[in-house]
Amino acid sequence: MDKYFKRLAVLSTVVMFIVMIAGSLVTKTGSGLGCGNDWPLCNGKWVPAYTIESLIEYTHRLTTGLAGIVVIVFSVWAWLRYKGNKEVRGLAIFGMFFIVVESLLGASAVMWPQSSPVLALHFGFSLLAYTGVFLLTLFALNRERSAPMIQTEVPFGVKVYTWFTALFAYGVIYLGAYVRHTGSNLACPDWPLCQGQLIPDLSAMDGNVGVQYFHRLAAGVLYLMLMGLFIYIARHYRNTRQDLYKTSKYVFILITAQVLSGGLVVFTKLNLSATMLHSAIITVMFSLLCHLCMQVMKRPEQEYEVEKVAVEQGVVKNSGKKTVKTATETV
């Protein structure tokens, strides 16, 4: 049974990732109204006419529907499997809630015209839904391996800084989505400068230059924030908190790739592959950053709680001369 549960966990994350990429494809190809203003039908039909726009939009709808079913089954199974575990319950509710919100917002965007700020929220809510499923999957796959890594607690200041960085990252991502929906992608046709200047005329092109410029500026600040977080963790917790060190390293690598992919988007003049890569990297990066937020909150004392639960459930195995308690229900 454990094997099937883990397979469903991986499937849930993969399907949600496909939903994220499909949603980005809809936006970048301008296929949002490929099915007209009908929902859930496509131009009044269950099987739409064959056009590129309608095919992209309808495929995205079908994928989202499938993802919703898979995620709900996985979340409910995880909730029942780890009864009493607050982390699992919270992540299950989080993922299911935002996939419903994302679906409803997508439907409303089709049936009623929405402003750019509202449309940008669609990607933001999709990202939160993916993140919830991603974190629940990590719990299911790594619950036994991650617990022994927690050998010390991090200071309160580090916890606050990590969570603030994640919130700031979400703001940067939202601003990036806003850039796409306002058509400001190439308001700065060069990179890393903007119109050949360090500080351009922010009011140019009806303010689109300002939108693009502030997105780049915020992305640069985020890069420095994540660099500082990685350096601090590497110096102080490389040996005692491998979970934090490895995750922060991967996050820093991904934010570096994200910055470079942003330049690639500009240099290739919005090449579809480059823009899709840009969206894919930030999706994984943000999810790992949220995982880091979860891990900084954990304390070594939780190891004893894990062992207590394991013993109470009779999950004990012998190893040599001493008894080793194996955590199978919580992290």
The residues carrying an active-site annotation are 57
DSSP classification of residue 96: H
Residue 187 has which token pair? 């308001």
Q: Which residues pair with 45 in a beta bridge?
A: 42
Q: Which residues pair with 317 in a beta bridge?
A: 324
Dist. CA 268–CA 86, nearest whole Å: 46
Dist. CA 291–CA 281, nearest whole Å: 15
Q: What is the largest CA-CA distance in the chain?
A: 75
Asked if residues 234 and 245 have their Cβ atoms less than 8 Å apart, the reply is yes
Angle at 179 between CA 174 and CA 185, to 5 degrees: 140
Dist. CA 211–CA 216, nearest whole Å: 9
Neighbours of 208 (CB within 10 A): 19
Q: Which residues of 244-258 are buried (b: 16+ CB within 10 A; e: fewer)?
A: bbbbbebbbebbebb
Which residue pairs from 321-328 have beta carbons closer than 8 angstroms and sit at least 24 positions apart in sequence? Answer: 326/144, 327/143, 327/144, 327/147, 328/143, 328/144
R_g (Cα) of the chain, nearest Å: 22
Q: Which residues pair with 194 in a beta bridge?
A: 197
